[in-house]
Chains A and B, each alone.
Chain A
Amino acid sequence: MNSPNDTATPKTGQNRSKLFVPEPPFRPGDTPDFSHIRIPADHSPGRPDPMVDAYDTEPQATGLVRVLRLDGTIAGEWNPKLDADTLREGLRHMMLTRCVDTRMFSMQRQGKMSFYMKSAGEEAVAVASAMAINKTDMVFPTYRQQGILMARGWPLKELMCQCLSNAGDKLEGRSIPVLYSVRDHGFFSISGNLGTQMIQAVGWGMACAYKGEDGIAVAFTGEGATAEGDFHYALNFASTYRAPVILNVVNNQWAISSFQGIAAGQGKSFAFRGLGFGLASIRVDGNDFLAVYAATKWAAERARRGGGTTVIEHFTYRKEGHSTSDDPTKYRPKSEPDAWPFGDPIERLKGHLIVLGEWDETRHEELHKALTIEVRESYKEAEALGTLATPSKINPASMFEEVFEDVPTHLRRQRQEMGV
């Protein structure tokens, strides 16, 4: 008896298809060589008017928008012409982000918290985006845009208390570390379920448009999670209803251990996906603070002028592990982060400021020291309110609250059963 799933099709060799499973260019043991990636020095695609026809952004969607050369000089049409104070502010936010990440990672290693996620190498994406939009614009982040919170000045102690799930955690220890929710800083509650925020951001943008409010929604996803249906719903709804939204795809080359090609397939770029939906689309050098800033400004202007949604792919690189729970040397060469040809976003902005004569190594070192102290002091204050290793001070009864607006009868009964 054949089972109904037996393949009974003839095998005559007429079908030449071979199942294709993409693999990253380098695995552990290989010497990474990215010389095939052309780094455009002067040929960044031009900056069209923000109200350009979406389909005319094809050069931007397939090329790479850049402002900063690797030597710290600038080129092309996208220079946002920021003054030195703003550049130094951006540098500070990025350095603070990395400083916090370093501290929290080591505290996780010491057992003070269950988990942590760094954003090393991607600080420009979060910080420059945040600086290019209004503070009242709602961002719908993933777990790797903590730089937005630095740029918007959320007190470090509050961030740290969330990670420590301690008595100072406004979210009452309900979520794992880094899944922040900071409404008063325009930072939407982070979901653990990848991709869901993209279509929610479009709904938020639609609401802004319906109410005639100034705000826009600015969403982020990793490149891996663009494969989720929610991303495609977002593109479709954004296009249909011309929602004032920016949909950012942070292409950091890796989704845990899967390289970007698993999600990308034969796509020309992640930005190019936007064009298929009739959305303006830009691929930007995500390690170039000025380019991220300029592209975001452009997209925000387009959104506020009624031009609808822009898709921005940030081409960057995840320099460290996915989280505290993995070891990247198990799936990629140890030297790959250093071989990555687009440099480090902090070093690049620093280099630019030095070229401008607005910064030097001594000031950089002093700032780094000052930030380290600031982070250490904040952490001390946060830790005084408890860690994962100390007995929790969170009231157990709070577990039953905010499931609904009011505690319904069955939850009251369960609360009694638990004895609190």
Chain B
Amino acid sequence: MAQMNMIEAIRSALDVKLSQDPDVLIFGEDVGYFGGVFRCTAGLQEKHGLHRVFDTPIAEGGIVGAAVGMAAFGLRPCIEIQFADYIYPGYDQICSEAARMRYRSAGEFTSPLTIRTPVGGGIHGGQTHSQSPEALFTHIAGIKTIIPSNPYDAKGLLIKAIEDNDPVLFLEPKRLYNGPFEGDPNIPAVSWAGHELGEVPEGHYTIDFEKARLHTQGSALTIICYGTMVWVAEAAAKAAGIEADILDLRSLMPLDLDSIIKSVKKTGRCMVLHEATRTSGFGAELIAEIQEHCFYALEAPIVRVTGWDTPYPHALEWEYFPGKARVTKAITKMMEG
């Protein structure tokens, strides 16, 4: 075991796979010599060579497209899109090509590629460095969408993603790279040091997809969330003085619906949280499934707390972000009702 922040855990996963499998290649903007703008690939080029870890032109469609060709050939590219806000030029190659390759060729060609990209706000990134576009991908048949909330999960899920024979979108909540975050910008930032989930094995391990993690246990309420919002949920439940089942989904597609149903049937109350914009967000999908499967167990309407349906504003970042204060208020109101 070693103490790692999320950046180190991701780097460790990449290092393990580069060492184990010569078919794993890493490329993206600034990931080579420099090691990535968030340092996730720092030192990997030096250790594994220029042919294994290299820089690309600034062309996300090109990065994904080349990876689709390599993956069809039989390699396992693990590419980085510098910010999820810049994934859109690669969207067609992801949705129409990578996600469809196995289906349209009846298994003759497949797309075992992993796309890593930082998501979410809370770092003063404004409209172009803060987005959470997960719902644009969970809506697409043929691609898996994964989002860890801590270093331990990040490493195990990333290794799993690279080994998976289907395309995987691996979303990295950038606000969690250096430490958990309660969603209150006035509290000094904490690091992963000394945190139980910052204890990460140095070698190879995997975490299965389609398995939510029960972050905290309680009988008052089920809070369904992922990424940064897991930590916000924990702080808010505490502030509201209730004990909640906080489910960290980790894998949005495929979804661990059974764990969700089990918890909601137990508590009878459910809140869905995400940082992304509300309308047609992943929360809508969750709520539809929950009402279908748990309607008679529900004691109150399902509540969702999300980012507003606006672009992510720069100066008003904390008014946009569904932080501790907003979530606490929503919990309190819900428990009164």
Contacts and interface: CB of A to CB of B under 8 A. Distances in A.
Interface in A367-404: 402-404
A207 B74 contact: yes
Given A210-B75, A405-B165, A174 B106 contact: yes
Contacts of B92: 193, 196
A370 to B, nearest CB: 32
A183 B89 contact: no
A353 interface: no
B240 to A, nearest CB: 32
A236 B59 CA distance: 9
B70 A207 contact: yes
B3 to A, nearest CB: 35
Contacts, number: 141
Contacts of A208: 73
Given A204-B73, A207-B75, A402 B65 contact: no
B280 interface: no
A206 interface: yes
B61 interface: yes
Contact of A207 (B69, B107, B144): B69
Contacts of B258: 409
Contacts of B56: 237, 240
B66 A199 contact: yes
A404 B144 contact: yes
B62, B71, B104, B141 interface centre (most CB from chain A within 10 Å)? B62
A121 to B, nearest CB: 28
A237 B66 CA distance: 8
B336 interface: no
A200 B68 contact: yes
Interface stretch (B6-14, B94-102, B229-237): B94-102
B65 A200 contact: yes
B96 A404 contact: no
A229 B101 contact: no
Contacts of A230: 61-62, 65, 93
B104 A181 contact: yes
B25 interface: yes
A200 B254 contact: no
A175 B69 contact: no
Contacts of B97: 191, 193, 196, 200
Interface string A184-207: 000011011100101111111111
A230, A402, A404 interface centre (most CB from chain B within 10 Å)? A404
A14 to B, nearest CB: 36
Nearest to B60: A233
A203 B93 CA distance: 13
A140 to B, nearest CB: 8
Given A203-B70, A229-B61, A210 B25 contact: yes
Interface in A201-259: 201-208, 210-211, 217, 229-230, 233-234, 236-237, 240
Nearest to A203: B69
B257 interface: yes
B202 interface: no
B295 interface: no
Contacts of A200: 65-66, 68-69, 72, 97
Contacts of A405: 102, 110, 164-166
15 contacts: A175-B104, A191-B100, A193-B96, A199-B61, A199-B62, A199-B68, A200-B68, A202-B66, A204-B69, A206-B70, A230-B62, A404-B144, A405-B164, A409-B210, A409-B257
Given A201-B69, A229-B59, 8 more contacts: A174-B106, A181-B108, A199-B62, A204-B69, A233-B65, A236-B62, A237-B56, A408-B210
Interface of A: 138, 140, 170-172, 174-175, 179, 181-183, 188-189, 191-193, 196, 198-208, 210-211, 217, 229-230, 233-234, 236-237, 240, 402-405, 408-410
Top 6 closest pairs, chain A to chain B, by CB: A203-B69, A233-B62, A199-B65, A203-B66, A200-B69, A181-B105
